Amino acid sequence: MKTLLLITLLFAGSQEERLVLEFSDPARPGRLLTHLRLGKIEIRGTKSKEITISSEPIFEHMSDEKVNGMRRLNAATFGLQVEEEDNLAVINVASIRTPQHLVVEVPRLTSLSLKSGGGILVTGVVGELELDTTEGDIQLKNVGGSVVANSLNGEIVVSISQVTPGKAMSFTTLIGDLDVTLPPGIKCEVRIVTRQGEVYTDFEMELATRNKNTGGTRDKNGRYQAGFERALYGKVNGGGPRISFNTLQGNIYIRKGK
């Protein structure tokens, strides 16, 4: 049954309010989608069927002499709105001037599509996890399912305890380390590109660089050119779906979990 649930909350002053709702069909895993331009997103997986949303402003530390001893009032108000339909919950954060720390508690089995201007932290969630940040780190602890993560400028530190078989994954950052812990029994083929940085792993891998000389061509002047792909490929536990690691400047750590 489809129900459209719309809840709006206005934040003012330093009140900490909470929005609580459930997916239309709590027996089926749902998906949470949100785009937070300014601030950090934190998601916690729980045993509850409820989704609980709250938000706190993030203040920069002011050590101005004029401030000395006074407490700060949050004069800016902003709107937080959540819409849910057919197991998809969308959180809209409208017109904020101060960066927010958005905290959402979700049922453990939930898929996430998160975009943030400054960092994402997810703990204890299993599902299709898609994360995108411009500045700030992506940290995933004790998650499961599949991960597609991109950070423009920041680290990606992920620890996956169980993997959905057959799903591809990708970790990309322009500047920043990739530090990914995978289940020891995972079957996959990793593809690794880093232009400035080292790669470390404790997995046993069958490594190969694809130097396809058959791709060469002879041009008009008779020069022979063959291109080499810059990526390193490695089969883990016999091979499987592709897990891509791509960073311009940064080290890559592919760790074997316990």
Partner 1 sequence: MKCEEVTGLIPEFLAGTLTRGEMLRIQAHTVSCAPCNQELESLSSTWKNLEHWPEEEPPEQLHKGFYQMLEGYQQGLKSSQVLPSLLDRLSRLLTHPRLAMPALAALILVAGLFLGRSMDHQEAPEVARLRTDLSQMTQLVSLSLMENTSSSERLTGVSWSARLEHPDERVIDTLLTIVGEDPSVNVRLSAVEALYESRHMPRVRAGLVRALARQESPLLQIALIDSLVAMDEKGVAAQLQELMDNRGINPVVKQRAQQGLMEIR
User: What does the binding site for partner 1 look like in residue numbers (CB under 8 A)?
Assistant: 109, 111, 113, 128, 130, 132, 146, 148-150, 152, 164-174, 191, 193, 195, 215, 217, 225, 227-231, 241-242, 244, 246, 248-249
Q: Which is nearer to partner 1, 11 or 23 (CB)?
A: 23
Q: At its nearest, how many Å lie between partner 1 and the CB of residue 53?
A: 22
> Structure tokens of 246?
């791509």
Give the position of tokens 């898929």.
111
Q: At its nearest, how many Å lie between partner 1 and the CB of residue 141?
A: 19
- With beta carbons less than 8 A apart as the criterion, state whether 247 and 176 touch: yes
Q: How many CA atoms lie within 13 A of 71 on its CB side?
A: 4
Q: At its nearest, how many Å lie between partner 1 and the CB of residue 164?
A: 7
The alpha carbon of residue 76 and the mean position of all alpha carbons in its chain are separated, in whole angstroms, by 28
> Structure tokens of 178?
């990739």
Q: Which is nearer to partner 1, 72 or 210 (CB)?
A: 210
Q: How many CA atoms lie within 13 A of 221 on its CB side?
A: 2
Q: At its nearest, how many Å lie between partner 1 and the CB of residue 40?
A: 20
Q: At its nearest, how many Å lie between partner 1 and the CB of residue 170?
A: 4
All residues at 6 or more sequence positions from 71 whose CB lies less than 8 Å from its CB, including other chains: none
- With beta carbons less than 8 A apart as the criterion, state whether 186 and 240 touch: yes
> Structure tokens of 93?
């954060």
- With beta carbons less than 8 A apart as the criterion, state whether 156 and 149 touch: yes
Q: Which is nearer to partner 1, 103 or 120 (CB)?
A: 120
Q: Which is nearer to partner 1, 101 or 115 (CB)?
A: 115
Q: Count Cβ neighbours within 10 Å for each residue of 149-188 and write b for 16 or more, e otherwise.
A: bbbeebbbbbbbeebeeebebbbbbeebbbbbbbbeebeb
Q: Which is nearer to partner 1, 38 or 152 (CB)?
A: 152
Q: Which is nearer to partner 1, 22 or 128 (CB)?
A: 128
Q: At its nearest, how many Å lie between partner 1 and the CB of residue 52?
A: 24
Q: Which is nearer to partner 1, 80 or 188 (CB)?
A: 188
Q: At its nearest, how many Å lie between partner 1 and the CB of residue 154?
A: 13
